[in-house]
């Protein structure tokens, strides 16, 4: 059993993952606005697969030990599902815009909490539901979604949110019998194979400057998903999900510091609600112990 119940570590890993994912969103939005989405995701997965193979080769027992799993179909399905989700998410950034797309996508923690009971058998009390709901209100205050959210294209990030929620739950389920290294390996390799089969038909030349952005996207992709896998191995999905809302907080900070956006009062108010919801969840965990 590799699964643990270290909520503090799980929360820290989730916050770290949100920082990386916010950076990824900005880079992906830039690249997918210029080049084909399938090609961008394919190149990213090539680096991802090379990294996990090199990591597995250096691990105790080598590739043979790392790749060994009794749930191969589940691991492959996880990897392909994540690759497909990334394509859908990046596409939603280009057709709906980053802000409105994220306003819809951020509902995925609610989907995780709703499904963690029937899928994983975890108990989700009303207090956790309340904390997640408060975090969701905070996110809506930050984004103040306009009419663009009700655009028919909004179904795209909603599909992405559902796919990502299922991926997160399957990752948690897989961690009951497989190590982080094993899940990480199959996430990268199966996703790379799937994306190569699709993306090779959409190859197009890339500007030299954009290759630097692609390199950064590749590195952040590896780091972000490793943090997420480790997070779900450490703690219950329903316990760490309120902290996924930090994704929007980092996006706001990135917009202010890099793109010169203005810090609106509603951003401060919404961020305060998100942090309060996360702190309440941690306090409840300590009290239950």
Residue pLDDT, tens place only, 202-213: 999 888 889 999
pLDDT band at 249 (very low <50, low <70, confident <90, very high): confident
* Cβ count near 18 (within 10 Å): 22
pLDDT band at 185 (very low <50, low <70, confident <90, very high): very high
Reported as half-sphere exposure (CB side, CA atoms, 13 A), residue 169 has a value of 22
Residue entry with tokens 């492959």? 76
pLDDT band at 1 (very low <50, low <70, confident <90, very high): very low
pLDDT band at 234 (very low <50, low <70, confident <90, very high): confident
pLDDT band at 148 (very low <50, low <70, confident <90, very high): low
Most confident of 191-200, 234-243, 267-276: 191-200
Is residue 221 within 8 A of residue 31, CB to CB? The reply is: no
* Two tokens, residue 286: 């300590």
Q: What is the pTM of this model?
A: 0.78
Rounded Cα distance, 163 and 169, in Å = 10
Phi first, then psi: what are they for 221, rounded to 5°? Answer: -65, -45
Rounded Cα distance, 141 and 27, in Å = 24
pLDDT(110) > 90 = no
Question: Worst-scoring range by mean pLDDT, 89-103, 116-130, 156-170?
Answer: 116-130
Q: What is the pLDDT of residue 157?
A: 81
Rg (CA), the chain: 18
Is residue 208 within 8 A of residue 52, CB to CB? The reply is: no
């Amino acid at each position: 059993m590799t699964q643990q119940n270290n909520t503090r570590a799980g929360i820290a890993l989730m916050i770290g993952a949100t920082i990386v994912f916010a950076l990824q969103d900005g880079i992906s939005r830039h690249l997918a606005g210029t080049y084909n989405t399938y090609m961008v995701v394919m190149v990213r997965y090539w680096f991802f697969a090379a990294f996990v193979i090199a990591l597995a080769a250096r691990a105790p027992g080598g590739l043979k030990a790392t790749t060994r799993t009794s749930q191969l179909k589940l691991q492959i399905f996880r990897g392909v599902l994540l690759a497909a989700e990334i394509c859908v998410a990046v596409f939603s950034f280009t057709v709906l815009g980053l802000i409105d797309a994220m306003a819809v996508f951020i509902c995925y923690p609610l989907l995780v909490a709703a499904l963690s009971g029937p899928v994983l058998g975890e108990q989700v009390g009303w207090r956790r539901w309340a904390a997640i709901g408060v975090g969701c209100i905070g996110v809506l205050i930050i984004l103040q979604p306009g009419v663009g959210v009700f655009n028919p294209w909004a179904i795209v990030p909603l599909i992405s949110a559902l796919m990502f929620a299922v991926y997160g739950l399957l990752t948690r389920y897989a961690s009951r019998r497989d190590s982080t290294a094993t899940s990480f390996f199959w996430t990268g390799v199966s996703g790379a194979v799937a994306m190569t089969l699709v993306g090779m038909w959409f190859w197009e030349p890339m500007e030299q400057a954009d290759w630097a952005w692609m390199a950064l996207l590749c590195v952040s992709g590896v780091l972000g998903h490793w943090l997420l896998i480790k997070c779900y191995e450490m703690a219950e999905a329903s316990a760490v999900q309120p902290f996924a809302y930090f994704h929007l907080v980092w996006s706001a900070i990135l917009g202010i510091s890099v793109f010169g956006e203005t810090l609106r009062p509603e951003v401060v108010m919404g961020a305060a609600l998100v942090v309060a919801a996360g702190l309440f969840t941690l306090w409840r965990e300590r009290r239950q112990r």
